[in-house]
Amino acid sequence: MTLKVMEHVMEGHYDFDLTYITERIISVFFLPDLEEQRYQRNLKEVASMLKSKHQDNFLLLNLSENRNDITRLNPKVQDHGWPDLHAPPLERICAICKAMETWLTSDLQNVVVLHCKGHRGKTGVIVAAYMHYSKISAGADQALTTLAMRKFCEDKVSSSLQPSQNRYIYYFSGLLSGTIKMNSSPLFLHQILIPSLPNFQTGGGFYPFLKIYQSLKLVYTSGVKCYHRRSRAAEREVVFRVQFHTCTVHGAQLWFGKTELDQASTDDRFPPDATVELIFSSGPEKIKGREYNKKDSSIKVDYNISDHVVRWDSYENFNLHREDSIESKKHAHQGKKKCYKISRNPTG
């Protein structure tokens, strides 16, 4: 089958990348901007290839948004998606690892397929997490499997990982090994300090507003996203994004440098020495000596939250099912050649 597939490979451009990370863990990756009809046709091609080689012995774990056509085309699908360029919640990482282990141990013929339409970092988070998870119940052949997963992460996804994605891999590994002790006490976030001003406006500075999410729901606990509100247009752009888990916080302060901030880590407008500091306490009472003085004339705060640019929730439409029936749509560009890549990740 592999030789036949390779005959279709077109050098320099691929609609998807299918990689055998190990003999039983497969990655299927589509570029985030792949045109919808081409994506649908390639989904069908991937399903056909997998069924030809593995019959019904594959479980597809969808790491992207829910889609009806993925479910129709494959015998067994589980949706575990989260927004692109983000880290998934720790409980979702754990659920995916458990699903992989359960499926792979139930039958030696079973394989797992990790489907991702987006950036490779999402697949990297899960492969790296499962590499740590599978060490708990390591068998005789675990060393080779671990080596293959590590090589995949180093060769294909390490450069695509966001700082928060790396942070959640570290969390997951540390919690599994016991090197990170879990803090179960509630924390109250009082202040977010950004001493150095990013240069998002002519003349320097920016017009910021913050959104704080928990499990992608807009609240005032964990997961911070900072925007610049463009003054002459009804637009906004992300200044930085940082995800963290309060169960790993042991103290009153959490500090992030530029290299630890999503988006800002590669943005020259964000000063190299810039930091973001979060101040916590164990109760809602104001922290003595850290009260914010609203009467300070040097600080101007606009409390207008009716502005639709400010109110817009980044994630409210993430998992809405789309009308994506392959059978009911006419496929454009039928004369174009299919182009895809299939490879096997070597262990040496």
Give the mean pLDDT of 134-159.
Answer: 85
d(CA 33, CA 231): 29
331 has pLDDT over 70: no
Enumerate the active-site residues: 116
The answer to whether 100 touches 112, Cβ cutoff 8 Å, is: yes
Strands (E), the chain: 16-20, 25-30, 58-62, 77-79, 111-117, 188-193, 208-214, 217-219, 224-230, 235-242, 253-257, 275-281, 341-344
Q: Going from the N-terminus, what domains does the chain have, and what CATH number goes with each?
A: 2-179+334-344 (3.90.190.10), 188-282 (2.60.40.1110)
Average pLDDT over residues 51-78: 94
Cα gap 237→326, rounded to integer Å = 34
Whole-model pTM: value is: 0.81
- The pLDDT assigned to 168 comes to 96
At 100 the pLDDT is 97
pLDDT band at 107 (very low <50, low <70, confident <90, very high): very high
Ranking 4-13, 64-73, 285-294, 304-313 by mean pLDDT, the lowest is 4-13
Residue in the block written with tokens 């282990």: 101
Closest among 157, 82, 75, 170 to 113, alpha carbons compared:
75
| 112: Cα within 13 Å, side-chain hemisphere | 23
Residue 204: pLDDT above 60? Answer: yes
Identify which of 43, 87, 45 has the alpha carbon closest to the alpha carbon of residue 67.
43
Distance CA 278, CA 189 (A): 7
Is residue 317 scored above 60 in pLDDT? no
Asked if pLDDT for residue 91 goes beyond 70, the answer is yes
